[in-house]
């Protein structure tokens, strides 16, 4: 009787192990299938993202009014010994550094109204001589054209061009 009991327990244990193996194998296969489908979705989204970025770069380079799309302006700056990305960073930081906490920005051709000060909040580098700035005092906002010059010592000087305020 004892040997039959051990045989039934052994048989039950074998069946339980087979059941657990089949169940875990099925679960593993389902998880692998889910991971595969998610990988396919990720790859499709990455391709979409890449195509959108390429479209964006192409669109911005086709407008013709940016430093990135103006080869002659880039050559001019590179001949002066600058890297284009480093130069853009330097130009942007020089312009934004003219924002003061307690005074109008000297590159903005208008004084702040309603007790606010005019500050530059955006810019677009057009070529090796011009930048369009966007400015606001919190209530009124506008744009202006700024000429910039690269001096012999490497510093930048600015000359405020024409600008306008949008009606409120």
Per-residue confidence at 57, pLDDT binned at 50, 70, 90? low
- Report the C-alpha gap between 116 and 152 in whole angstroms: 36
The pLDDT value recorded for residue 33 is 94
Beta pairing class for 141-150 and 156-165:
antiparallel
**What is the value of pTM for the model shown?**
0.60
The pLDDT value recorded for residue 67 is 78
What spatial distance separates the first Cα and last Cα of the chain, rounded to whole Å?
99
Domain ranges of the chain: 1-62, 71-165
Other CB atoms within 10 A of residue 161 CB: 15
Report pLDDT digits (tens) over 110-135: 888 877 888 899 999 998 899 999 99
110 three-state secondary structure: coil
């Amino acid at each position: 009787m004892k040997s039959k009991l051990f045989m039934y327990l052994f048989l039950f244990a074998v069946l339980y192990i087979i059941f657990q193996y089949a169940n875990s194998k099925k679960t593993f296969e389902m998880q692998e299938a889910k991971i595969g489908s998610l990988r396919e979705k990720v790859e499709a989204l990455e391709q979409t993202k890449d195509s959108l970025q390429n479209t964006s770069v192409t669109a911005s380079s086709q407008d013709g009014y940016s430093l990135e799309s103006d080869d002659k302006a880039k050559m001019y700056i590179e001949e002066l010994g600058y890297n284009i990305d480093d130069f853009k960073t330097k130009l942007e930081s020089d312009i934004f550094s003219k924002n003061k906490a307690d005074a109008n920005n000297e590159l903005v051709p208008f004084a702040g109204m309603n007790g606010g000060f005019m500050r530059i909040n955006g810019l677009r580098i057009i070529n090796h001589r011009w930048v369009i700035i966007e400015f606001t005092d919190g209530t009124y906002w506008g744009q202006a054209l700024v000429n910039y010059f690269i001096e012999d010592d490497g510093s930048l000087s600015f000359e405020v061009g024409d600008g306008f305020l949008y009606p409120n």
